[in-house]
């Protein structure tokens, strides 16, 4: 039961510790269903229970049934792959979960008469919750008090305008506080809370699009269909060719072909690359809330950012109050101090309050700041009504003070206007007797790394759009200080709602001031309609919906909980300068996964062509499973693991899947043709025409004596050729070379050589490699290597680093 039936609750001191303990014991806590990562059971299932593991597992059992343990080596590799995937994801999960817990959302509650912050998941039924601007409403309830409380309910209703809620109103979880404050008792929590009952519709959660994951999934779908078609063909052809030697021969030759079709480590390496990138970014104070966001930011070509907190430190300081219209300077300072004496003061009032003391005036009414109307106000006993807000909103169109505002703004100052009225404000509507009293100037400190960060984006071809609620001239002045050309600053209040016009303005302008929260969303939609991949940064609750609609939402660590909840990335220390590191990690993931995917798909294409050629030419499949295990391990598996985690600075290029297919499929075809040529040529060395290979070929076991060389040597020659061609594929994909890459490839080549020259190696793999066989096989392999080099130069586009 998680809805209250208790009537006598203390509206001032809240629950006692004993009452909280009772509710926890009854399970009446605000359990959060959403998790930051998969459970251990899900990790194990995801790494073990896959369609390809099922195929390889079945083949492993059949191969073991033949008694050929050496040919079951791929089963051990399968187990090791799954174990590595489980361990890597579990370790990453622990680190990311600890970090997510450290930065988990909190809720302000009153218990034992004390206000404290507790994790939102520890809110209990009947808790007295205190709401302030920027908070998310964690549970349903009825307001006991309301000081101008306005909630953003767009997540629930789609309505973008904040809704005012007086005392006595019912409020629902899933909304967020835009302005004001209030208190209420949690009446429905956990699964009974409104937001959890309609979670799918309310939060409209969407997973970040990942071109890599979408491409890999498409690739796996293709490969699955290839296996479905190739498996019966392989079994039929091998039964027809070596069936008279017993079912064991059919199983071994068939298994070898199918094993070659399975990209056993591709999904593992893709997942590990994402996970380790996310873990690496935590060291740079970046929390990745959705793993594909690492890749997503590397694809971004437009970054929308706010001035405050991004280009500037975010902490504004009061500079001066300049009286106008003969206003009294002392009264102005008192009025500013009284307005700033507010527990829910926004950034401007907080800066004023840090410089000016409160005169102790008593408030009778409050209109909290709202980014839509861009002003706040308070009525005081015996001291009239005072309003503080944007000069563009409070001043008449022809007021000469506008020239003074423009001059101050051009020097990079933030300006707000202090005005007065004799009327009491019962609702958030400007009085008609508004009288300007002072121009208040505030200063901001430019972040020392802002210039370098923007220069980096410019070098990378990423457009910057500064979208701010401040005066356009003020924003433009800051832009100039960080080396950005503001072009013609735009006052967003003059922009039409027409999406086509908005697209044109966004294409030619860089700086936008006086932008409303709904306009931020419109900007994102307009840029996306123009084909851009958009990142949006923000920290205020009003930024939440724009961040959610952007391709990548980036929240500041000191931002509102509602904003951090919808962002894909959270900059824990609020430093925008971390984004180049995120882009670098994304590029590394994209470039490296593309490299290893090429290796796996080339092997799949080679196996498919070999299966088809063997069926058409009535040949045994050229390899035993152990041969392909050797080739896959030394030219794909081990190198791919290191290449997937190594540095890669290549810029993002669209067309991930197309590039893989354009190179890997022809490369695999070249390898397949070279293998068939080598196999046939090696067999003819003994005067055995291809159609008689089957009759001379028996099952080769380690240590067997008297195995027909017409069977062993063609497979040996084909393996040598395949190793040469696949090492050439590895070499071209590993470029540009570094010492560790050269060492890696050299070590793999040495291991391959030892498999042929050491007695234990050639016995285990059933190799027989006289020089008369080695030279032709190497020659065919080198021809294939030259073809691979030519293919790479044609098929792989060059990208700047």
Active site residues: 306
Cβ neighbours of 555 (radius 10 Å): 30
Token reading at 490: 């735009």
What is the DSSP secondary structure assignment for residue 192, as one 8-state letter? G
Cβ neighbours of 243 (radius 10 Å): 15
Residue 743 backbone phi and psi in degrees, to 5 = -65, -40
736 prior amide bond cis, ω within 30: yes
What is the DSSP secondary structure assignment for residue 182, as one 8-state letter? E
Token reading at 45: 């299932």
What Å distances lie between residue 536 and 306, 467, 488, 527, 548, CA to CA?
Answer: 9, 10, 21, 11, 9
C-alpha closest to that of 576 among 554, 558, 561:
554
C-alpha closest to that of 610 among 722, 508, 531, 533:
722
Cβ neighbours of 376 (radius 10 Å): 26
For residue 106, give every residue at least 6 positions away whose Cβ sits within 8 Å of its Cβ, in sequence order, or none. Answer: 117, 118, 119, 120, 561
Strand ranges inside 557-660, DSSP E: 569-571
Residue 512 backbone phi and psi in degrees, to 5 = -130, 125
Taking the C-alpha atoms of residue 134 and residue 212, their distance in angstroms, rounded to an integer, is 35
C-beta separation of 789 from 728 below 8 A? yes
Taking the C-alpha atoms of residue 217 and residue 201, their distance in angstroms, rounded to an integer, is 27
For residue 390, give every residue at least 6 positions away whose Cβ sits within 8 Å of its Cβ, in sequence order, or none. Answer: 374, 375, 416, 417, 471, 514
The long-range contacts involving 665-668, CB below 8 angstroms and separated by at least 24 positions, are 665/601, 665/602, 665/605, 666/605, 666/791, 666/795, 667/598, 667/602, 667/605, 667/729, 667/788, 667/791, 668/601, 668/602, 668/603, 668/604, 668/605, 668/606, 668/607, 668/608, 668/609
Residue 59 backbone phi and psi in degrees, to 5 = -65, -35
Across the beta sheet with 435-443, the strand order is 317-323, 435-443, 414-421, 385-389, 375-380, 363-370
C-alpha closest to that of 172 among 161, 160, 719, 154:
154
Cβ neighbours of 115 (radius 10 Å): 12
Beta bridge mates, 446: 312
C-beta separation of 647 from 741 below 8 A? no
Find tokens 């861009």 and name the residue: 374
């Amino acid at each position: 039961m998680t809805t209250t039936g208790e009537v006598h609750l203390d509206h001032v001191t809240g629950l006692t510790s004993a009452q909280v303990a009772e509710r926890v014991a009854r399970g009446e806590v605000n359990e959060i269903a959403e998790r930051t990562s998969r459970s251990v059971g899900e990790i194990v299932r995801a790494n073990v229970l896959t369609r390809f593991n099922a195929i390889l597992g079945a083949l492993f059992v059949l191969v073991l049934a033949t008694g050929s343990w050496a040919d079951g080596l791929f089963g051990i590799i399968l187990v090791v792959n799954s174990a590595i995937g489980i361990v890597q994801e579990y370790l990453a999960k622990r680190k990311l979960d600890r970090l997510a817990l450290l930065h988990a959302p909190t809720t302000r509650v009153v218990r034992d008469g004390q206000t404290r912050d507790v994790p939102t998941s520890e809110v209990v039924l009947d808790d007295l919750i205190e709401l302030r601007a920027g908070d998310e409403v964690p549970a349903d309830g009825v307001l006991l008090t309301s000081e101008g409380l306005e909630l953003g309910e767009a997540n629930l209703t789609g309505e973008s305008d904040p809704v005012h809620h007086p005392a006595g109103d019912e409020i629902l979880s899933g909304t967020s506080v835009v302005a004001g404050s209030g208190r209420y008792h949690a009446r429905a929590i956990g699964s009974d809370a409104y937001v959890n009952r309609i979670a799918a519709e309310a939060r409209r959660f969407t997973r970040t699009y990942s071109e890599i994951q979408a491409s890999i999934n498409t690739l796996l779908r293709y490969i699955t269909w290839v296996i479905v078609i190739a498996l019966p063909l392989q079994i039929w052809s091998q039964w027809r060719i070596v069936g008279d030697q017993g079912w064991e021969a059919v199983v071994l030759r068939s298994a070898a072909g199918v094993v070659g079709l399975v990209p056993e480590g591709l999904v593992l390496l893709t997942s590990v690359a994402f996970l380790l990138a996310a873990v690496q970014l935590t060291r740079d104070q970046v929390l990745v809330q959705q793993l594909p966001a690492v890749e997503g930011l590397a694809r971004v070509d437009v970054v929308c950012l706010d001035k405050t907190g991004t280009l500037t430190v975010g902490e504004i300081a009061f500079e001066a109050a300049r009286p106008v219209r003969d206003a009294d300077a002392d009264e102005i300072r008192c009025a500013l101090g009284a307005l700033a004496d507010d527990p829910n003061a926004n950034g401007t009032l907080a800066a004023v309050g840090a410089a000016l003391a409160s005169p102790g005036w008593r408030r009778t009414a409050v209109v909290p700041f709202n980014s839509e109307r861009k002003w706040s106000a308070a009525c005081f006993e015996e001291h009239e009504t005072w309003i503080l807000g944007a000069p563009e909103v409070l001043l008449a169109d022809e007021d000469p003070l506008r020239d003074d505002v423009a001059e101050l703004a051009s020097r990079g100052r933030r300006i707000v206007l202090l005005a007065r009225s004799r009327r009491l404000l019962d609702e958030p509507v400007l009085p008609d007797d508004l009288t300007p009293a002072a121009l208040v100037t505030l200063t901001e400190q430019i972040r020392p790394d802002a210039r370098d960060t923007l220069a980096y984006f410019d070098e990378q071809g990423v457009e910057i759009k500064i979208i701010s609620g401040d005066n356009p001239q003020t924003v433009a002045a800051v832009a100039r200080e960080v080396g950005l050309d503001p072009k013609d600053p735009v006052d967003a209040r003059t922009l039409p709602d027409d999406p086509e016009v908005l697209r044109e303005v966004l294409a030619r302008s860089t700086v936008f001031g006086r932008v409303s929260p709904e306009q931020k969303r419109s900007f994102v939609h307009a840029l996306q309609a123009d084909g851009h991949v958009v990142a949006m940064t923000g920290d205020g609750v009003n930024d939440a919906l724009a961040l959610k609609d952007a391709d990548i939402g980036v929240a500041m660590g000191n931002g509102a909980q509602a904003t951090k909840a919808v962002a894909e990335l959270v900059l824990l220390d609020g430093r925008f300068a971390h984004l180049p590191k995120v882009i670098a990690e994304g590029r590394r993931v994209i470039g490296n996964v593309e490299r290893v995917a090429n290796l796996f798909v080339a092997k799949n294409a080679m196996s498919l062509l070999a299966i088809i050629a063997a069926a058409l030419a009535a040949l045994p499949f050229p390899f035993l499973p152990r041969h392909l295990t050797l080739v896959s391990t030394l030219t794909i598996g081990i190198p791919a693991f290191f290449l997937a985690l190594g540095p890669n600075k290549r810029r993002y290029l669209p067309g991930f899947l197309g590039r893989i297919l354009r190179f890997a499929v022809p490369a695999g075809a070249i390898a397949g043709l070279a293998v068939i040529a080598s196999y046939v040529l090696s067999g003819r060395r003994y005067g055995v025409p291809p159609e008689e290979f089957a009759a001379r070929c028996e099952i080769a076991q380690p240590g067997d004596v008297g195995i027909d060389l017409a069977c062993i040597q063609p497979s040996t020659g084909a393996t040598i050729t395949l190793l040469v061609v696949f090492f050439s594929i590895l070499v071209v994909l590993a470029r540009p070379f570094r010492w560790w890459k050269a060492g890696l490839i050299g070590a793999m080549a040495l291991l391959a050589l030892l498999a042929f020259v050491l007695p234990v190696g050639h016995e285990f793999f059933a190799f027989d490699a006289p020089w008369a066989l080695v030279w032709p096989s190497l020659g065919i392999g080198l021809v294939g290597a030259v073809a691979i080099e030519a293919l790479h130069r044609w098929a792989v586009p060059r990208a700047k680093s």
